[in-house]
Amino acid sequence: MTDNAALLDIARAAAAQGADLLATADPGAVHTKGERDFVTELDIKIETLLRGRLKEETPDVGFLGEESTSPATAEGHGLEWVLDPIDGTSNFIHGLPLCAVSLALVRGGTPVIGVVHAPLLGLEYYAAEGQGAFVNGAPIAAGRASRLQDAIISIGDYAVGHDASAKNTERLAITAALAATVERVRMFGSAALDLVWVADGRTDGCVIMSNKPWDTAAGVLIAREGGAIVTDSDGSPHSLDAGHTIAANPAIAREMVQLLTNATSNTKINSAR
């Protein structure tokens, strides 16, 4: 198999091709995937194009895409491309520039290559395992806020669809706990951007109360390579099987996990009464 440097070049070129379409094409028809969950013709076009390209360049590597496969039916064993053709589809539909092509290479369940290309922001983030993280060719590093009171923390989207109300009880409790503690809370609507902006020091942490591999795989690697700590919400090491995705600069990671633990514990206690 080609080495990581060559695989990163392949990933960057593929993501750039998708980003060119994202920057220049209209969404096309918008279809409903679920309650308040949408997919555009452009999502499908980008995924189809990149899937074919990657299959041609790396025929022995499997493929998992948000719009065309599920983890249960994904191709390949052990080495797999994981793609979200437009992370932040709702933002894109509404003309908000907070959206990106997110492409990762996962080996044995661990991301080893990651690219998050946000063309409407002029930002290309990328990393290879053990080689650091970069934006537009320049190295990046996680922020240095030493207290939660000085931190900007982003949160992932609230739940929609089945059981959204119950899921959002926990999310709202976490939001309230963060709002009472940190300098500012932000919601960008793109898990990939949440993670790479921790890596870049634009924010100090993010709380994503879900963990779909196409949303998080590339950003998790970039965050780690930028020096961030990435865990599940209980502080255990993050994996693509984790329930949640939490990233923070090392100085506040433990404090943030404790805040989340307290917030969710209170929610469970109150719901049991």
- Cβ neighbours, 10 Å, residue 59: 7
pLDDT at 30: 59
155 φ, ψ (degrees, to nearest 5): -120, 150
- In degrees to the nearest 10, what's the CA dihedral of 56, 46, 106, 218? 140
Instruction: Look at the pTM and tell me if it is higher than 0.75.
Output: yes
User: Are 140 and 251 contacting, i.e. CB atoms less than 8 angstroms apart?
Assistant: no
pLDDT at 34: 52
- In degrees to the nearest 10, what's the CA dihedral of 150, 134, 226, 239? 120
pLDDT at 60: 94
pLDDT at 272: 35
Which one of 3.10.20.30, 3.20.20.10, 3.30.540.10, 3.90.45.10 gives the CATH number of domain 4-139?
3.30.540.10
pLDDT at 267: 60
* pLDDT by 10-residue block (mean), the chain, 273 residues: 87 98 78 60 91 96 79 57 94 94 96 98 98 98 94 90 77 94 96 98 95 95 98 93 94 95 70 35
Fold of the domain spanning 148-272: D-Maltodextrin-Binding Protein; domain 2 (3.40.190)
pLDDT at 86: 94
213-225 helix and 191-199 helix, angle to the nearest 10 degrees: 0
The structure tokens listed for 80 are: 């797999």
The domain ranges of the chain are: 4-139, 148-272
pLDDT at 160: 75
Distance of CA 157 to the CA centre of its chain: 12
